[in-house]
Structure 1
Amino acid sequence: MAVELSDILIRQAQGDDLPALVAMFAADALGGHGDTSDAEAFADYAKAFAVIEASLNQTLYVAECGGEVVGTFQTMLTTSLTGRGSSTMIIEAVQTRADMRGQGIGTGMIEFAISEAKGRGVRLVQLTSNAIRKDAHRFYERLGFKPSHLGFKMALK
């Protein structure tokens, strides 16, 4: 099934989208985030959704096609003193449903985020990608992102 980008609606996520989002993250074998569609974990996702929804600097989006959630991403705005007090948009948790990959949905989501950043006068858009996701790295580079920094993480839980 081929999808036309004009058939994709990108909108802010709503509470009713949460089961589809959880299922998408749980199906990601490479992510390593411990996501699960186990009903006992749903409260954790609902709590996180409420925090994101209440934030002035975070937005969770979904890509919808034919009334189904087929992709998602989250943006965060941060302002620092570096860059003369400029703002940066961070794109996180980019995910396209496995059966819908390769159809331009990811491109549409990233282009949407970049357009939002430009509209807000943001100086820089950045994202991170798991080091093992070589296909994702090529995808981001094709969209104009440059691998410029080395990231470090420390798991606390």
Structure 2
Amino acid sequence: MTATNELAGLLIRAAGRDDVPALVALFADDALGGHDDTADPSALPDYLAAFDWIAANPTNAIFVAEIDGEVVGTFQTILGRSLSGRGAMHLTVAAVQTRADMRGRGIGTAMRRFAIERAGVLGASKVKLTSNASRTDAHRFYRRLGFAQSHAGFTLSLRSEASD
């Protein structure tokens, strides 16, 4: 599944293994994420293993947004189903990043629209996302796109903070 957008030259497509270094660079450049991501080449095998696992899972997908062949954004979708809600399917959007110097140009909006369209194609009745509580700008952005804050999230780390 690929899409082009009214933003000049923007293409959203499934990520490939060759995109992983560019995606890692996006995550490593994120001061608010708190995931301890790093562009150190010694960590690349960890990211490649994660990409391979995600790519092999039919309910998961990673996408890139690119302009003129350059990765400027990314997000992951995870299709889930719960017994509550009469077994409704939902699409969770995760690991959303837009390159810092490209923010405010409509890339995030295009990625969200793409994810929402994907949810409809997959038969999901709801699109979910989570966002770090410190990302107040992102929260305003999600509200402008029609998302409503509905839950409080909690995380329990099972690894030491240095290895998250």
Query: Pick from 84, 87, 95: which aligns with 1:85?
Result: 87
Task: Tell me, in whole angstroms, the C-alpha distance in 1 between the residues paired with 2:59 and 2:93.
Answer: 12
**Alignment map for 1:1-157 (pairs within 5 Å):** 5-157=7-159
Displacement after TM superposition at 1:83 (Å): 1.1
Task: Tell me, in whole angstroms, the C-alpha distance in 1 between the residues paired with 2:46 and 2:39.
Answer: 11
Task: Tell me, in whole angstroms, the C-alpha distance in 1 between the residues paired with 2:107 and 2:17.
Answer: 21
What SS does structure 1 have at the residue aligned with 2:43? Answer: helix
- Could you tell me which amino acid in structure 2 is paired with residue 121 of structure 1? G
Question: Could you list the runs of 5+ residues in structure 1 that have no partner in the other structure?
Answer: none
Q: Which residue of 1 aligns with 2:162?
A: none
**How many pairs were matched up?**
155
Task: Tell me, in whole angstroms, the C-alpha distance in 2 between the residues paired with 1:50 and 1:5.
Answer: 30
| Aligned-CA RMSD value | 1.1
Task: Tell me, in whole angstroms, the C-alpha distance in 1 between the residues paired with 2:6 and 2:35.
Answer: 31
Task: Tell me, in whole angstroms, the C-alpha distance in 2 between the residues paired with 1:54 and 1:27.
Answer: 27
Task: Tell me, in whole angstroms, the C-alpha distance in 1 between the residues paired with 2:13 and 2:22.
Answer: 14
Question: Could you list the runs of 5+ residues in structure 2 that have no partner in the other structure?
Answer: 160-164
Deviation beyond 4 Å, 4+ runs, structure 1:
none
Displacement after TM superposition at 1:7 (Å): 1.6
- Could you tell me which amino acid in structure 1 is paired with residue 87 of structure 2? G
Identity of aligned residues (%): 59
Displacement after TM superposition at 1:80 (Å): 1.2
Displacement after TM superposition at 1:6 (Å): 4.5
